[in-house]
Structure 1
């Protein structure tokens, strides 16, 4: 199957300037060739789609997601929870152009189940990278989410990690510290694991060659995770200068999840944020905790950005179809350029998941997971919301041009 996309304004996420009147030839699900203005080839048997100057770019990525939170199976039976998660994953792709997602915790391996369903072609959906449960201590972070496993002692963590591996996860999620969203004893300035527990957890991951997605929210937890070999640091609400130096020295990814500390009634700055905050209806005490953490979080984010730390976009909020779009806006609001934000949500999202050679940019030979939007996202990052087309493996799966 061959498709020629003509009259595209190409934002390839390799170079920061849009390329006007470009043509892209797709063959058997991959980008066969890219032609500059006036150089489109004879089409032969290819289907021709005239984009009429709209902006063609890679699909978006959100590399920190969870299913909805239900305290127990009594709130919603497991089959319904699994089905709902799959529906929301599909909606993220079809309604918002989010083509890749990395899970940060899901009970009963529902993320593994949907990854297999999507990869096998049984169901249409995004590229999904599974974590299974996230692992923390007794009395650890976000136990009310329903997605945590409580572990204690070195062998407790080793056994739990082996169970995750046996059940088909792509990476291991470790919650090393507290958070902003939680009860009074779950604080982001507190670290939870003892030295022998954290060392054992990282040791078994290294032996089994599994990447660690480390929830680390304060300098002590961030530094320990980086030194022990974390693949990525999630949140990093408090970062000091030594944290930044270690990020660079060890070439570790940072996923800042600005949405957690920035989306409160007092901080919402546009209609999208205000609607989300109203629907979320977060408890006043949690809004206060988020507001109190926001400035320090922003300062660490900017420090990492200016230092050149590798950074990818992850939202940690729901619904998935809105989450990455809100996070993109917060990146720019907090001081990133639209180009930096867009790279974090495309090229870097694919790279952190280990598939940067195949996805994340519009280049010859890569898989054609693409979106078309009606405005230039490098002028206004919120133009990614003006979605027209979604293509997965070169095939149109969502058409909103009407």
Structure 2
């Protein structure tokens, strides 16, 4: 789960943010203006704060801390602004979400701008105003942008190292702190990241940042004004919904009547093979017929010529934490179903409703109920419980809302695990999760787990002791440093693999996500190397920011060797018959492609990796009757791909078009809307077909509908 973006894009160079929190003495400077922001999670728990001190000598100091789920950034920042109101000097130091050191500096003297950090170094001759975008920063950087853009009367603001930022006023709201009132404004900024950034600012000649809100997750508001958070969040939700609805109307093309996709080579996810060219008929969101290519076409309203391209069932991302802005990235990647593995319950329910009504560009969502225990390290999604009664109450809520699966998290009380799992099973739910603190994976399996999330949680089975606090960063540090020492041929490991196989325990390794364990700061993180050049500049820069604290070259070698063994382990258990699913828990869409590439690196064939992302996805979301394969009567979740991903898995990035939920969508259109350089062009277009005589049309449609309804009845 991530904070919103820029200013906040800067904070997110690696997952959420970075920096070192040092609490300044508020009385240290006699002539200092201090502003404090309090950061709350959606459930009302305070998770951090930002203290801004503006000194009379022009120096601004910021201390920032944010902690959720046992991790988070801490940062210490200093900067000065020049005569143009923009940063002339900037420095941030600290530690990232996962403990990596941060040390970033910027200075502009005259027309010469220079910057350097642990991951990059650059300089540029600049004419006129330009705002430097740090790789790591507090919210306060956004306050500078707000003021500068307001002074430009609608003109874009040039950025360093490159790009430009624009700002639009969306709404106003009168707020009160019980003693005084003021009017604040909702602004939308574009030009950084993959979606608009919304933030709240004061009004007047020199506006400044007032609040940053991520609806459904987090609110950061000036101290004393917190009571206005819900009102601001509701206005922002409406503003975001309008943009998202516009995107949906623009990018989702309804398929009306009967559509035939001609000359497509269909990927058979049961056999992991590609068949002979076929014509696939789509009617009202389902597959109505599959005929040999070149069969007579009568009664179809329009056609698409696949021209021999491969048609793949819609892909499954089995480890998402869905947000409204993720949908376009997923669809453009061919992901038509996402299993949400932990969210704010009201948020995910609202998203499911919006998808159903067609007002949100998105895959279909299969929700998983999130269950956590109370501790200082708690994640704060779903239900946070103290005892078995609370756990059962949460499970009842999830079962009544149609959740097929439960996910248990790090701080869940181990004493009630077995009873909780049994109760979830009695309500018809699968159970998966992290391993609760004090336990190891084999004990969670003994308690009834059906699935385990993340490769680090699996490796901890051999590395942790009952005393290891796996709620802390040790859950990452131990596997990164010690997996290299595990002997996969030892009796202990062999016995564990046999248990996984015998009990059919599914693994959701998220290998691509955990590539950060071995990333050297300054190098592009492996899963994003092939897409970096397609991304907006600030997103591309963020791929080179390391997440882990890796002390030296010797430590880096251990991290690399440990990660290589994690990849090896997944290949080993797959060959032994352990079920694998493909999930991300990272940048939507693109990371699933990288996960499939990692599975191939583990020893699977590209076709087997595709089988995992299609057939296995359907099996382990319990949607196999409708999805996961291209068969008559199933949902028309279809992905047309350039190249041959069954031979070269990288070709799965070349998605030409996607059909799902009765809509046709073009990744090229979606990517351009989001500032991404497309991976394909010249996708097949819908061609209207001339009407035929009514008696022939009825004949063919009756045949197709007969096949459809006969098959549908079987399911």
Q: TM-score, normalised by structure 1?
A: 0.80
| 1:242-288 alpha-carbon deviations (Å, 9 max, x no partner) | 33222222223221111232244347277237778852524332896
- Give 1:265's aligned residue: 519
- Kindly indicate whether residue 604 of structure 2 is the aligned counterpart of residue 330 of structure 1: no
Is residue 2:564 matched to residue 1:295? yes
Q: State the secondary structure of the residue aligned to 2:569.
A: helix
For the 8 Å contact 2:264–2:311, the answer to whether it is kept is yes
1:106, CA displacement in angstroms? Answer: 1.0
Residue deviations 1:5-30 (CA, integer Å, cap 9, x gap):
11112223233332243211222222
State yes or no: 1:91 paired with 2:91: no
Aligned to 2:442, the other structure's residue is in SS state: helix
Aligned residue number for residue 392 of structure 2:
158
Task: Look up the SS of the partner of 2:643 in the other structure.
Answer: coil
Partner of 1:147: 381
Answer with 276-285 or 302-311: which moved more.
Answer: 276-285
CA displacement at 1:324 relative to structure 2: 0.7
Show the 5 A alignment for 1:339-378: 339-378=607-646
Deviation (angstroms), 1:31: 1.4
Aligned to 1:11: 267
SS in 1 for 2:549: helix
- Do structure 1's residue 2 and structure 2's residue 258 form an aligned pair? yes
**What CA distance in whole angstroms lies between the structure 2 residues aligned with 1:367 and 1:160?**
31
Q: 1:42 aligns with which of 266, 288, 297?
A: 297
> 1 or 2, which has the higher strand percentage?
2
Compute the displacement of 1:355 (Å). 0.5
- Structure 1 residue 314, shift from structure 2 partner: 0.7
Q: Check 1:245–1:209 CA distance in 2 against 1; reply closer, same or farther (3 A cut).
A: same
Q: Which of 331, 339, 348 in structure 2 is aligned with 1:111? A: 348
Aligned to 2:452: 233
2:442 aligned partner: 223
Q: Which has the larger radius of gyration?
A: 2
Q: Distance in 2 between matches of 1:175 and 1:298?
A: 23
1:338 deviates by 0.5
* Cα distance between partner residues in 2 of 1:292 and 1:163: 44
Q: Relative contact order (alpha carbons < 8 A, sep ≥ 6): 1 or 2 greater?
A: 1
Decide which moves more: 376-385 or 114-123.
Answer: 114-123
Q: 2:406 maps to what in 1?
A: 172
**Corresponding residue pairs, total:** 364
User: Unpaired runs of 5+ in structure 1?
Assistant: 68-84, 178-191
Please point out which of 268, 279, 284 is paired with 2:548. Answer: 284
Determine the C-alpha separation between the residues in 2 that align with 1:176 and 1:339: 34
Q: Is 1:259–1:316's contact at 8 Å kept on the other side of the alignment?
A: no
The gaps in structure 2 that reach 5 residues or longer are: 1-256, 462-492, 534-538, 669-680, 683-715
CA RMSD of aligned residues (A): 3.1
Change (3 A) 1:399 1:6: farther
Distance, in Å, in 2 between the alignment partners of 1:197 and 1:257 is 27
The alpha-carbon deviation at position 101 of structure 1 amounts to: 0.4
Q: 2:318 aligns with which of 30, 44, 63?
A: 63
Higher mean Cα deviation, 341-350 or 122-131? 122-131
Name the counterpart of 1:243. 496
Does the 8 A contact of 2:371 with 2:394 survive in 1? no
1:307 to 553, 576, 588: 576
The alpha-carbon distance between structure 1 residues 3 and 166, as it changes in their structure 2 partners (threshold 3 A), is: closer
SS in 2 for 1:130: strand
Q: When you count helix as a share of all residues, which structure comes out higher?
A: 1
CA distance in 1, matches of 2:452, 2:266: 32
Cα separation, 1, equivalents of 2:620 and 2:571: 20
Aligned to 2:674: none
Q: Note the C-alpha offset of 1:147.
A: 3.1
